Chains A and B, each alone.
Chain A
Amino acid sequence: MAITFGMVKDRERNRGRLKEEYAKFVGRKVLFITLSVLIIVALAGVAATLGSANLSVKEVYTAILAKFLPQYFHSTWFSETIVWGLRLHRIIMGIVAGMGLAIAGAAMQGILKNPLASPFTLGIASAAGFGASLAIIMGAGFVGGEYLIIGNAFVFSLLASLTVYGLAKYKGITPETMILAGIAIMYLFSAMTSFLQYVGQSEQVHEVVFWMMGSLGRSSWDKVKIVTAVTVLCLPYLLLKSWDINAMGAGDETAKSLGVNVERTRVICMMLASLITAAVICFTGTIGFIGLVAPHITRMVVGGDHRFLLPASALVGAILLLGADSIARTILAPVILPVGIMTSFLGVPFFIYLFLRRRKEFW
């Protein structure tokens, strides 16, 4: 009897220890997320000091806080105008766009179970490029005025993912059918873009090429609001489905046996990821790399649990894009490089470093 009692106590202690270990394991991920938020706040402050008008980090934060808490913080008209009028919307756009692309990438990699998947896997980028080219070269589009290029890029992006969905639906919604359909669509749209470039005039072609490089230079508060709204609306569903995406990583059949409605979850996640991507790139142009690599960098640190991977990827994406844009603005000042060029220059060495340093398999 005494032995049995001792064993029971042992078991209890053992189970307690296991739960503690798991709590620590989760704690490390929460710490990473917290640190990432702090880095973004700091980076945003520093980014707002960059530019021809000299402002200190303190002046920047005072100008930001003065808007929300005027009774405590007092800023000058000059620094407020520079920060709020010129710089901050670009910075916030960088953060939100980075977040959106990274979440979309993480979700795509999860539901397609493919490390090479990105927000652009379903042909969205080349469709957006075609939409923009159509607007720039032919002047044709769905909406007029300032939103001609934006509207085209957005509509064609969604058209691409709907087509992929349609094709995949016909053959069964599996990662393979979706990826293959995506590649087909991608080539179709890039061929059409090439055709437009062939018939276009050289200034127009130049504009198209510049659009496709991706830039935060076209941002404004209105655009920031739209991108933020779309991202914020889509995020909760993706987060809520974290467990289902995790289960799908173990195979569709396992996921089904765990109670996941695999096809529906895959389609809805894909549509939301596409929507976020379309909303971002129609304003920024195709900023590649972030959506592919931010989730990988994050996965190496926090592991493959999408409950943490999705939000943490978002933050890493924001850091990467904001960091890249800050460097793109200063490295050849007063020339501002398109951020799309910089993201790869900055991110690839970092990614390769992590990739080589990490011994454990992360995918």
Chain B
Amino acid sequence: MSVEVVVGPLNQKVAHVSRDQYYSYAESLYEDGFHFASDLCGVDYLGNQTRVLPDSVTPERFEVVVSLLSHGSAERIRLRVQIPESDPHVSTLMGIYPGVENMEREAFDLVGIVFDGHPDMTRILLPDGWEGHPLRKDYSVGRVPVQFKGAPGPR
């Protein structure tokens, strides 16, 4: 499996994986002692021209960033997965790291990335009937009236 691992600021290791490699690479990292998923979030790169990626990686609009931690060797590795806008799906990591449940729900809620195989892919912070995903760059701040279930609409 060819996965490009680059070193970022603070000597942080970053692995760029494709969507197909994502689950199996995380599994192999688990075997290597990375038993702890400390963070998972979605990022929207719409309009951001400054992203630096290795040549072998095709940039897409969304990214899922997972931070894994090894308690044994006290080191971190970060997985960055490119997710296309047309098909914002990626497989869930809950089979390896059950602790990402809330974080994946948050990434779905705020950025709109669907994690296939997640047992409870519902909104976690926003109300169930909310429209749109606020952390997307095309979701502007302060223009949408507050939405509440059963509330009267704007005048």
Q: A and B: real partners?
A: no
